[in-house]
A and B are shown apart, each in its own frame.
Chain A
Amino acid sequence: MLVDVVQNTIDGLLIGSSYALLALGFTLIFGVLRRLNLAYGPTIMLGAYAATWAAREIGAEGLALAAITVAGAVLGGAYVERLCFARRGGLRGAATARGPAIASMVASFALWMQLEEVVTLALPRHLYPFPPLYAGAPLVLGPFLLRVEHLVTLAVAVLVAGLLAGLLFGTRFGLAVRVVVDDVEGARCVGVNVPWVLVRVFALASAVGGVAGYLIAATSGQVTPMLGMWSTLKGLIAMMLGGLGSLPGAVVGGLALGLIEVHSQWYVGPSYRDLIAYGLLFLCLWLRPAGLLASPAARARLAATG
């Protein structure tokens, strides 16, 4: 019994690390834009499908596939950013808060639909195999089984989180990002080129998403048109669980979601697994809307503006 709990916990953390990556990308965009990008998952899917096409048509493999996935995601992200969110860098008085918040979100949904159709037109089958990251047997550590692909995902997630932290707290660009997240008007006052920062953060978030997308595709060994919505949902749930706009929260939320899913599936089966995940999210929003890791400042901000 204990062995099962530990095994499930390990699996949950491993799966959760890919959710954490998705949530990190989502949070970066939300942090600077204060808007929800519903096309985030679909741009990742675009990258994964580009890599699938490359694998089929020109025999690309390994790191080249990862690079193509990231490139596809970044290009897709740039398209979405230009069309839906570019105005956000505009000056005060150009547009007031509420209307355009919904508008850019629905616009991103429209692009989600576009990207999904593009992808299914290019590769129409319901499912395509994706070259797996590792084709060998899982590692055996005592009574526990560890899939190597999952370990790689965890390692990459840790690496990416570390790099992001280093970027945010150790570089001038990172300072600009933190300043924009904290108060965008104040950022303009100190001379930060806000539109420039937004474009780059978006690209960074797309790149992180692309990495996540490659790992997810290479671990599951397949891509489907559902990947877009699936990635968006996982990233969104993880972000909300951990605390909106908080990068450490994104990691915690992702890991928590992984743990919840694996343990739920073990005890109540796959049908109820998502029910429990959504139920916990609902509970979290009801009782502790700022998220598991919300700082007092975030909770105060939530109370003030919603």
Chain B
Amino acid sequence: MDAYAVGVLTNMGLFAFVALSAYLLLVAGEMSFGQQAFFGVGAYAAGVGTALWALPLWLALLLGMAVGAGTALLVGLPTVRLRGLYFAMATLAAAEMVRIFFEVFRYRREVAGRLVGPDGTQGFQEIRWVFERGIEPLGYLGLIYAILGLLVLGLVLLERAPLGVAVRMVGEDPELAAVLGVDVTRLKLGVAAAAGAVAALGGGLYAHHNTYVEPRNFDIMLGVHSLAYALVGGLGTVMGPLLGVGLDVGLLEGSRVVRGYRMIVFGGLVALLLLVRPRGLLDEATVHRLGRLRRRPRPGVPGGAPAG
């Protein structure tokens, strides 16, 4: 596989994490402009873990996830009662605060004779754990997709479990969910923390792939993009955000024909798509229909009411 293809696939894998992060919150009924903050937090935390504290990669990634979840709770607790646009703006404000924090954050240590660590607007260089162990891009690609695969598997299983059903119910009708005994607040905070951890995991992997991150990488554009990936791909299934990432990063990035006009093409397609499919390509109705195709047809059961 040529280096360019490896690069495209790697980007797809990495952005899938932050798209899944936005998706989790959307399913729980909240629109967040701020998941990129946790991506960044995970990147910095995991980077500090390996580059300054000599942790192995797996431990550093876990550290990143913990910090990501913690930050998400810090943002989530004051905002849990906010809905709709108010919540979205609060996440945007919080994410920008995190980004600006990294613009002034300095934590430098001497490691093997060199000064390494986050350096404000200069960013965080020398995250070389992967490089130093001679792990090839292809091998790292495999690692990313292995982790992504496990995550997706876990989410798919959770979706069918009572917890997943409860989350979707909270997303559709929080009052009804509350009446049925769901602790809406705790569930939303749980989803927020999980989404933060997922984004942070992606961020940690991203930092070690690029070996260098700076605050500018985690700006609003990334956040709104993640939201777009999740929505365009479809909110009916975990595969939705993956499809969204695949379409943008994969298809259009990979096809050099539309190179210079990528956003014009993609932007137009997205707008048109959302006109006819407001819940995305793999929306709940489609997923429901695909599911029924797989099951045996039963006699006497006609079309029935549409989902949603």
Contacts and interface: CB of A to CB of B under 8 A. Distances in A.
Question: Within 8 Å by CB, do A and B touch in the complex?
Answer: yes
Interface string A215-246: 00000000000000100010011001000100
Contacts of A285: 79, 82, 86, 89-90, 93
Interface residues of A, number: 47
B89 A107 contact: no
Given A102-B26, A103-B274, A274-B96, A113 B266 contact: yes
For the residues of A in contact with B, the DSSP-based class is helix
B275 A106 contact: no
Interface string B250-282: 000000000011111011111110110011000
Contacts of A274: 96, 100
A275 B90 contact: no
A272 B93 contact: no
Given A236-B89, A244-B85, A306-B82, A103 B100 contact: no
B27 to A, nearest CB: 12
Given A113-B266, A286-B78, A104 B274 contact: yes
For the residues of B in contact with A, the DSSP-based class is helix
Interface residues of B, number: 46
Given A103-B274, A114-B264, A306-B84, 17 more contacts: A95-B278, A103-B231, A103-B278, A104-B278, A107-B270, A114-B267, A117-B261, A229-B220, A240-B86, A272-B100, A278-B93, A279-B93, A282-B93, A282-B94, A285-B79, A286-B79, A306-B83
Interface string A96-130: 00111111111111111110111001000000000
Interface in A28-84: 36, 38, 83-84
A285 B31 CA distance: 15
A233 B267 CA distance: 20
Contacts of A237: 89, 93
Interface of A: 36, 38, 83-84, 87, 95, 98-114, 116-118, 121, 229, 233, 236-237, 240, 244, 271-272, 274-275, 278-279, 281-282, 285-286, 289, 302, 305-306
B266 A110 contact: yes
Given A102-B31, A106-B231, A306-B83, A84 B278 contact: no
A236 B220 CA distance: 13
A107 B86 CA distance: 19
Given A111-B271, A282-B97, A302 B86 contact: yes
30 contacts: A84-B274, A102-B227, A103-B274, A103-B279, A106-B227, A106-B232, A106-B274, A107-B271, A107-B274, A109-B228, A111-B271, A113-B263, A113-B267, A121-B261, A229-B220, A229-B221, A244-B86, A275-B97, A278-B96, A282-B93, A282-B97, A285-B86, A286-B79, A286-B82, A289-B82, A289-B86, A306-B82, A306-B83, A306-B84, A306-B86
B84 A101 contact: yes
Nearest to B219: A229
A170 to B, nearest CB: 30
B264 A106 contact: no
B110 to A, nearest CB: 26
Nearest to A30: B85
Contact of A118 (B88, B264, B271): B264
Given A275-B100, A278-B93, A117 B274 contact: no
Contact of B90 (A113, A236, A282): A282
The 10 closest A-B pairs by CB, nearest first: A306-B83, A114-B267, A103-B278, A110-B270, A117-B263, A110-B267, A282-B93, A113-B263, A107-B271, A99-B278
Nearest to B173: A98
A66 to B, nearest CB: 28
A103 B273 CA distance: 9
Contacts of A107: 270-271, 274-275
B138 interface: no
A209 B39 CA distance: 33
